[in-house]
Structure 1
Amino acid sequence: MSKTTSFYAKLIPVMLCFFAMGFVDLVGIASNYVKADLNLSDSQANIFPSLVFFWFLIFSVPTGILMNRIGRKKTVLLSLIVTFVSLLLPIFGDSYGLMLCSFSLLGIGNALMQTSLNPLLSNIISGDKLASSLTFGQFVKAIASFLAPYIAMWGATCAIPQFGLGWRVLFPIYMVIAILAILWLSATPIEEEKPDKASGFVDCLKLLGNPFIILCFLGIMCHVGIDVGTNTTAPKILMERLGMTLDEASFATSLYFIFRTIGCFSGAIILQKVSSRLFFIISVICMLAAMVLLFVSDAQYVIYTAIALIGFGNSNVFSIVFSQALLSLPEKKNEISGLMIMGLFGGTVFPLLMGFASDAMGQDGAVGVMTVGVVYLLFYTLKIKH
């Protein structure tokens, strides 16, 4: 087998795992359908995405420690198995308790996956190309993300009646892909670098004492807060301001992920030619402009433009911040990965705050919460090293 063939034989199954990583983003559209099915308030419905990302706080750092013991590939396989179980449960119903269980397992599986898959990719890709490679992985992840609303909408309106699943047909479709990812990665030999020096939970958390690492951690929190926030709130804005139905407004979620996918694909190319700092600044300016548009206009085309700008602007934030953190302490990759993925806990904090804000002030309140995250990322641009 040639060197190039061997490279792609390893890269393709890893990229399929990035696709499976995108399954977590189905929580946005799923929470809207569960809200409609069970007649929940915004704050009640936003518990679902918040619950998914709560587990990143609990499991990310222990996963970084686990990788030192069993290796990155085995940790990714464990994450895929947990994800498979989470996708299996909704086939049996959509009761509040069952969906809480499913979304919890989805969050646990994704915490394991995001912590281990990014450093596993660094065993295949050289360091100087890491940011663009992580961005390409996010591009693959985004494909799964923007397909989810379309599959749910198809299930709700056109699915074969005897399935009896409606919008929940999304879960078995993604479950089959998870099985394929498990089998393919299991059969793929990937040589891992020597594990980091054994470390404990406290040793990992001490790294947050590094000023740059804590800035990166907060940057990840804001990124995922804006991501999950837009994912869940975009349809609600259209429903509140333009009187759309949920099925009609679901296009907003897809639009966000379409432009996030475009941003990831273009970012993977652009980051090989321009500095991370310059591209990051452009990305944050796009999001800031979007927040202004959402505050000043209720016109449908303006709302769609704003959602597209958020999708494009937020598409490369994770990859740049994550790679900056990894490259700042290369001897602590596993621990840094655990800390950065723990920052995805922002996906719990932001939806909860947005749910309370929107109950009190309408969707303008939710947009206000996201704007705080964008302003922080604007500050973070001053700290990017290169």
Structure 2
Amino acid sequence: MSALPRPAARRSSLSPRHWVSEELFDFWAGRVNPLWTQRRARARLVARDAASADAVTLVLRPNRHFRGVAPGQHITLGVEVDGRRLSRSYSPTVLDDGSLAITVKAVAGGKVSQHLAQHAQVGEVFELGEAFGEMTLPAVPSARLLLLAAGSGITPMRALLRQLDSAGMPVQVDLVYWAQQRDALCFAEELASIAARHPGFQVHLALTRDPAARAARVGDYDFSALGDLSGAHVMACGPGGFVDAAQARLHGQVATLQSEAFTPPVLPDVETGTVQVELRRSGRTLELPRGTSLLQALEAEGLRPASGCRMGICNTCVCGKASGVTRHTLTGEYAAEPATQVKLCVNSASTDLILEL
């Protein structure tokens, strides 16, 4: 008689995730070291340095759960301010030791930017979201590059230029960097150092309020001084008005143009008045203004929906819309389809709405 088959041995695990919930593990492990989590990406502030007269660079050391970020992409930073968990998106530079450098300018009324630029201390721990964004380079760039940056738009450009520097600057690259005054420039010494190593890289500073320079803004800038741009790929980053002006100025003169705006452009003929917005899950009905993003309108009512980039990129604020018409604050397009997803940060209410909030 053949022996009966032995039952499969039960697998056992000593992993803590089988003993307690993730939230409970993170809570107690965090009492010992806030970077100890089961799966959550977090980072500790290890250094801070002045980047310009009105900006600071923070160096963050992530834990092992951070999945990385490509040069030019953004990450969402979760920050605790006055007992509230807030989040904003920044474009980091990965340093040689794997740390992340983010440069922040304190914005009037911006609770997160003011906290980071003025109050965050070495040792503070932040939540890290996954990387997102399309402002990236191919593995082997082949076309001439024209980089346009204004204000904080220099931060993704810094990461891209470090990538190109490491690759030996494989194509011709021109950076035109707009700022009001010389002391508002970030990474000036680093940019000059990269230019000194690579003859194919040129930095053009456009100081709009410097009495000695008085450079033209992007809409009136003399790009002919840079030579033939018909085959160039343009990457532009800055405030919404800057990006719009760059697109209008270079339309038809370059091969391709890629852009990111960190403030939304102002649309003409913005709708006025108010509408009724029902929040189905919480059972509340609010009177919200038309023409204002749903995220801003809800925050003005004391609500705190999940949010991240506030530019319509990261999808953190997406929620269900059961019915009603919304207007996209960046394009002006209307959306009337029921049972769809809506990004609260870049949509306003045009009619009464029902949201899954």
Fold conserved between structures, TM > 0.5: no
Higher helix share: 1
TM-score range, shorter chain: under 0.3
Higher strand share: 2
TM-score by length of 1: 0.26
Structure number with larger C-alpha Rg: 2
